[in-house]
Amino acid sequence: MLAIVCPGQGSQTSGFLSPWLVDDETKSVLQSFAEASQTDLITHGTVSDEETIRDTALAQPLIVAASLLSARALGLSPETLAGYGEKVLVSGHSVGEIPAATLAGALTEEQALKLIAIRASAMAEAAAAEPTGMAAVVGGVEDQVREAIEAAGLAPANVNGPGQIVAAGNEQGLSSLAENPPARARVIPLKVAGAFHTQYMSSAGEKLAQAAGGIQPRDAVVGLLSNRDGEDTREGSEVLSRIVDQVTRPVRWDLCMETMKARGVTGILELLPGGTLVGLAKRGLKGVQSLAVTSPDDLDKARDFIAEHTA
C-alpha cells in the first residue's frame, strides 16, 4: 500500500524549482498556478534567496504549488488515484494538507491555490502582530519535553513522531527553552516566521473560515488522513473544516504515521519539496520504504515506486 504525502512549511529552499522550469509545459503549469495564487512562483522558486522565501506569504503558495507540480509530472490526480482504490492514501503536514486534499479530490487545484493565498497572507499578518516562532525539540523523554515546553510558556504545535515535538510561542519563551533544554534533547529553531498552529493564529483562522465559506468541496475519492488526529476523513465539508481549524490546532503527524502503520502502508512517497517527511518516516515507521521527490531526476524512480507499492 502506498501513502503519498505532501510536506509543510520550512521544506522550501532557494532555487528549488529551477530544475523543473527547463520544460516549457511545466513552466506554463507553474505560471497558471502563480496566477491562481497571486504569487510570483517562478521568481521566488528560482532566484529569491532563503530569507525572502521564509516569508509565510510566499512560502506557503510555493510549497503547495510545488507539491501539485510534481504530482502532475507523475500523472497523479484524483482520477488516477481513485483507480488504485484502497491501495493508496494521501496526507499532508500542516500546509501540505491542502495539496493532499486536492489530490484526494476534495478541492480543485484552483480552489487550493486561491485558498492558500488567503491562508498565507492571513498567517503572515497574524505572525507580524507579535514576534513569535517555532523550534523543534529533538530527543528527550516526551513527558519531560512537554513539561519544558509548558514551563517556557510555549505550546506543542507539532507532534511529528518519536523524539520530535515542535514548540511554538513568543521569542522570549523560545529563548528560554533553548537556554534550558530538556534532558538529552536539542532545541532547533525552524525556518518559519510565526507561532503556527496556536492561538496566535486566531485572526488567520477567522479569515480562512470566511474564505472557505465560498468553496464547495467534494468528497475525497481515496483515503485522506487528517493531521488533526490521523483519521481517514473523506466527507468534503469535514475536510474543509479541518483545513480551517488546523491553523490554530496542533499538527499530529505522529497519529498520521500510526494510521499508516495500521493500514499496512509499505511505501511512502513524499512530493516536492521532499525530504522532511521521509526523514520522520525513517524514525517513526521503521521498515517502511520511502522516497522523496526533490528534482525531475527523481520522477522515473518515483513512477517505479508507485507501481511497486500499488501492485
Tens of pLDDT, residue by residue, the chain (311 residues): 999 999 998 889 999 999 999 989 999 999 999 999 999 999 999 999 999 998 999 999 999 999 999 999 999 999 999 999 999 999 999 999 999 999 999 999 999 999 999 999 999 999 999 999 999 999 999 999 999 999 999 999 999 998 999 999 999 999 999 999 999 999 999 877 899 999 999 999 999 999 999 999 999 999 999 999 999 999 999 999 999 999 999 999 999 999 999 999 999 999 999 999 999 999 999 999 999 999 999 999 999 999 999 99
- pTM for this model (two decimals): 0.95
44 in catalytic set = no
Domain with CATH 3.30.70.250 in the chain: 129-189
- Tell me which of 70, 94, 121, 290 is the catalytic residue: 94
94 in catalytic set = yes
- Compute, in degrees rounded to 10, the torsion defined by CA atoms 41, 45, 51, 57: 30
Domain with CATH 3.40.366.10 in the chain: 2-127+198-309
Superfamily classification of domain 129-189: Malonyl-CoA ACP transacylase, ACP-binding (3.30.70.250)
- Tell me which of 44, 93, 197, 309 is the catalytic residue: 197
In CATH, the architecture of 2-127+198-309 is 3-Layer(aba) Sandwich (3.40)
